[in-house]
Amino acid sequence: MKLATLRTGEPDGRLLVVSRDLSMALDVGVIAPNLLRALERWDEVAPLLHALSDKLNAGMHPGAMPFEPRECMAPLPRCFQWCDGSAFLSHRQRMDHASITAPLPELDSVPLMYQGGSDNFLGACDDVRLPDERQDIDFEGEFGVVVDRVPMGATPAEAARHIRLLVQLNDWSLRALGPREMRSGFGLLQAKPSTSFAPVAITPDELGDNWRDGRVHLDLEVEWNEQLFGRPNGREMHFSFGELIAHAASTRRLSAGTIVGSGTVSNKVREAGTACIAERRMIELLEQGAAATSFMRFGDRVRMRATTRDGEAPFGAIEQRVVGAL
């Protein structure tokens, strides 16, 4: 099942079921007005939504309308909690060369995670308004999961059973602001503006064998100004999503609608390219002695889509332009 949120002028939009080929959609607000409400009552509403999804995919629902991603918000426009991990060790190991703190000794045994803003997620085609190019604008391609209520102290296996939806996202960064915030010991705030999401969230069964071991086994194709930048695969997550959720829930319960991110998708093989500029700059520094790739400028565009071996894009595509805030 694939779900999206129609822009209505209300903060949470209107819930849509979307066809598997992303061509048609169905307003299902009569079952749940928005995705957050659906997640809070998932056991009750999911069977009803699945039944409508089956009819939509079979071309048997007369109320269907064309699906237009530009008319949609993020699948979950806001939620109570957004926890982003850093589960790809190749990314962490490369980025440690730019770190203002010593690498953590338990890097491969304890997940890294920060808590980001969750009140204003961006839709897949929204302009990204930022205050200053000099803050070193960077994209970060990731995967994520949306959970229902997770009890405090859940094990990784228990936590994985609470995954309801998968998402694809761009966790924007302002790299010039990160070092000061990291030195403060309080973590990231200004360096992490609003996160963007691909137009549809999907149930794990939509990926078939491409969802296994708590990981998304898809290439994440990233284009910057219509040039291929990288195509790393999500299979190399060191920590599974179950482990990341359990880490977030170790001292608190997680509310329905909490999103947990994978961190920047990265592969050991450098031929895969990267899903963020900062990692490419670190590779250039290691190989050439200096970083050559600049950060983004106003007017630049980024496109991200996770693809199967057949070239299908289950989440749709993030296609955005960076512009000045004023």
Domains of the chain (ranges plus CATH)? 2-71 (no CATH), 82-324 (3.90.850.10)
* pLDDT (0 to 100) of residue 207: 98
Find where tokens 């595509």 sit. 317
Type of residue numbered 138: D
* pLDDT (0 to 100) of residue 224: 98
Secondary structure class of 21 (helix, strand, coil): coil
pLDDT in tens, the chain (326 residues): 999 999 999 999 999 999 999 999 999 999 999 999 999 999 999 999 999 999 999 998 889 999 999 999 999 999 999 999 999 999 988 888 655 455 666 778 899 999 999 999 999 999 999 999 999 999 999 999 999 999 999 999 999 999 999 999 999 999 999 989 888 888 898 999 999 999 999 999 999 999 999 999 999 999 999 999 999 999 999 999 999 999 999 999 999 999 999 999 999 999 999 999 999 999 999 999 999 999 999 999 999 999 999 999 999 999 999 999 97
* pLDDT (0 to 100) of residue 93: 87
Q: What are phi and psi of 62, to 5 degrees?
A: -70, -15
Quote the tokens at residue 146: 């949306």
* pLDDT (0 to 100) of residue 187: 85
Specify whether the CB–CB gap between 316 and 124 falls below 8 A: yes
Residue 164, CA atoms < 13 Å, CB-side half-sphere: 25
Alpha helices in 165-267 (DSSP H): 178-184, 241-248
Give the end-to-end CA distance of the chain in Å, rounded to a whole number: 39
Alpha helices in the chain (DSSP H): 35-40, 42-57, 89-95, 156-160, 178-184, 241-248, 277-288
Find where tokens 């708590």 sit. 214
Say how far apart CA 279 and CA 269 lie, in whole Å: 13
Say how far apart CA 81 and CA 315 lie, in whole Å: 21
Specify whether the CB–CB gap between 272 and 161 falls below 8 A: no
